[in-house]
Structure 1
């Protein structure tokens, strides 16, 4: 009877190890994918900001630098389900991002952008070939990327599943490059453990443009050729299991430089609102619960399975020794003749 019990324990151990492997190697990769049908809105806010605003003036708009503004940014990310790169079980998806920053007082747009790119559904990085990649920083002036070239490389919307405590490369939409974003420790956001990452963009010339002389300290000159420089410090808090960005803030500055004069056309910080952060925490906690079965449970099954296998082997060895002892010949007593 004990022999049958031993083999049952051995079978349960092997089953537990196999089930853990199946969950980790097959089920987890199927679940740990960014969705095709994403539809998310995030809102940021900032106070005391300096910004260049175009004020309507009849049929035109006049540039005006305003200080101490209250600005709100709205970013909507949706999936392009009609893109040729998108298939139901495929490893690539296409996301589209539309963003706008407005002056809270009069609703005037400070800046806006639209972009699209192909993403690896596991790592979250931009991939090629991609027919559906473009960005549009000025309305009506769309810059389309070549199919075989990464137009917006690196991470763009999220970090990989199982984010590690190391540096990554995050795409900056202003300089149009993937720059290092450095791991900077662990912090809790609303009770949720996160990894903190910080990206520093040094002062960089974005472009040269003709601007009214009044914007660069030359009111008597109608037009001046000026360089537009940009710098920023970006901080992101990332939930490591899902790679989701939970909270974020960006302290940015843009200035026009001409003939030794410089004028800030944007200077301030925008941060995700408490409502957006709370929604991100709730969504991450739901996704963590789903992924738990594919990450923690396999480890538990491997441990339990290993213990059962070892126990069954011990029982088999002990059973073998017992049979060997019971089969030894009994000693006989020799009676000496009288």
Structure 2
């Protein structure tokens, strides 16, 4: 007899399909749980990931800052005469480009002119940390060609979420970074701002020596003398604190000439500079829009999406619990029917005792 006939045919094995049965949808509450999990994920990603990538200063930018004074006074170095009630304009032009993932390279030029006559012009290259707004000593920085400078402090913008104190602002003309002091909370064009001031005490401007007529300091003197430019300035900045954007600024500056080997002093420039018309409202609107975006990512999104996500998950779980199939209980009638259908087993009789 073959082994197959002795053992019998192998039992047939049926594969059970994986997943929901055909024709049946997802369990109730699944969509609510998935939507809630998505909202909770957004509540974490928006403030912790997206905000930190949107808040830093833009890597690439191109803009001009125009400051004017309609009643400035200056020394015309072409004729060496004092000119009053002149229209003065100072233009700071910035061309910024990405420098790595965290820095931006700013090429800056500053031109001061009056009546189409250039009074002063200088250039600067500075590497800006996009997160802190501060200068980084790197990569060919210079002030007017002087590559030995080590720039430090804020360049133009404050860091996003700026604190009230503990800041310095680099003055490229005097090659130092005097501190900027918080004055008070203020408002510009409907935008809440913080007002800061910086004072530059009378300081000799490096590399400013030039030959000037000796008669400027001693009437009747002949020839020329070597003189340096000295600067005194007080600057005011109005900063939107969420974005760190400067929405308005003003500068009161006084420049003089002093001979290197001698006494005396001659006024060179007196000006009260303010941002040109139209720029303040434009910067204020930019700051307002960007502030709403950053506050939405950092505050409103987690406090709105978090609770909504939690409620959606709980609602989905409750819906799934209520929609579960009822559990069938075993009844006595069913137990008796199973007992009747089951075949009765014949009792096993004990072997009869045999006599001797």
Aligned pairs, number: 287
More off after superposition, 296-305 vs 90-99: 296-305
Q: Deviation at 1:167? A: 3.4
SS of the equivalent of 2:278 reads helix
2:96 touches 2:105 (CA, 8 Å); kept in 1? yes
Q: Given the alignment, which residue of 32, 39, 48 partners 2:55?
A: 32
C-alpha distance after superposition, 1:88-142 (max 9, x if no partner): xx00111111221111xx31011122111111111111113323x1222xxxxx2
Match of 2:106 in 1: 95
Q: Given the alignment, which residue of 72, 78, 81 partners 2:89?
A: 72
2:43 touches 2:301 (CA, 8 Å); kept in 1? yes
Whether 1:135 and 2:143 are equivalent positions in the alignment is yes
Q: Given the alignment, which residue of 107, 110, 120 partners 1:111?
A: 120
Q: 2 CA distance for matches of 1:5 and 1:250?
A: 67
Q: Deviation at 1:240? A: 1.0
Q: 2 CA distance for matches of 1:124 and 1:5?
A: 52
1:10 touches 1:308 (CA, 8 Å); kept in 2? no
Q: Deviation at 1:22? A: 1.3
SS of the equivalent of 1:293 reads helix
Q: 2 CA distance for matches of 1:212 and 1:248?
A: 36
Check 1:33–1:248 CA distance in 2 against 1; reply closer, same or farther (3 A cut). Answer: same
Give the 5 Å matches for 1:175-186: 175-186=174-185
2:239 touches 2:248 (CA, 8 Å); kept in 1? yes
2:135 touches 2:155 (CA, 8 Å); kept in 1? yes
Q: Which has the larger radius of gyration?
A: 2
Check 1:261–1:283 CA distance in 2 against 1; reply closer, same or farther (3 A cut). Answer: same
C-alpha distance after superposition, 1:16-52 (max 9, x if no partner): 5543321111111111122222011221111322223
Whether 1:282 and 2:285 are equivalent positions in the alignment is yes
2:197 touches 2:236 (CA, 8 Å); kept in 1? yes
SS of the equivalent of 1:67 reads strand
Match of 2:238 in 1: 237
Q: Deviation at 1:179? A: 1.1
Q: 2 CA distance for matches of 1:151 and 1:50?
A: 33
Q: Deviation at 1:302? A: 7.5
**RMSD, matched Cα:** 3.0
Q: 2 CA distance for matches of 1:64 and 1:306?
A: 73
1:123 touches 1:160 (CA, 8 Å); kept in 2? yes
Normalised by the size of structure 1, how large is the TM-score? 0.75
